[in-house]
Amino acid sequence: MNHIGKNAVVGVEYVLKNNESEVLDATDGDEFQYLHGANNIIAGLESALEGCKVGDKKQVTIEPKHAYGEKNPELIQKLPHNLFTGIDKVDVGMQFEWQTEKGQPHHVVVTEVEDDGVTIDGNHELAGVTLHFDVTIMSIRAAEKAEIEHGHVH
């Protein structure tokens, strides 16, 4: 298998940056492997890598609506301090599992602490972020039967 296509196991190294060129994620010399065509990675990135071969380098920019979506303002809430009793000090950047009204746990991060309340944001950390990937294709091989059945790399 020389080119990336459906049912290829692809190894990549990548650096992910935002519009401000801050590094959000990077493989740092480790190869990240995924099964092509199995929704293992963001659709826009997967389609950009289609047909690439080992050694190819790709720069891929993905708008929020094709990545983790725009920020949903309904997931940003200001809560009274008394909901945080039992925690010594609530700080910006702290993460919690929050129980929604329907009882679903979801992941929130503290974005602001003020005298009259604590603001939490339940959006995905990459919501509203334009993603800039620098990808190098390191390896390509045909997936094993079991990998195709399971939809992931073994």
Which residues sit at the interface with Zn ion, rule CB under 5 A?
150
Of the candidates 3, 10, 5, the one whose C-alpha atom is nearest the C-alpha of residue 37 is: 5
Instruction: Tell me if 5 sits within 8 A of 142, measured CB to CB.
Output: no
The residue of the chain with the least Cβ separation from Zn ion equals 150
Q: What's the CA angle centered on 80, arms 77 and 92, to 5 degrees?
A: 65
Compare residues 45 and 143 and give the one whose CB is closer to Zn ion: 143
Q: What's the closest the beta carbon of residue 23 comes to Zn ion, in angstroms?
A: 31
Q: Is 1 helix (H, G, I), strand (E, B) or coil?
A: coil
Q: Which is nearer to Zn ion, 3 or 150 (CB)?
A: 150
Nearer to Zn ion, 107 or 150 (CB): 150
Shortest distance, position 146 Cβ to Zn ion, whole Å: 6
Contacts 24+ apart (CB under 8 A), 97-100: 98/122
Q: How far is the CB of 142 from Zn ion (least distance, A)?
A: 16
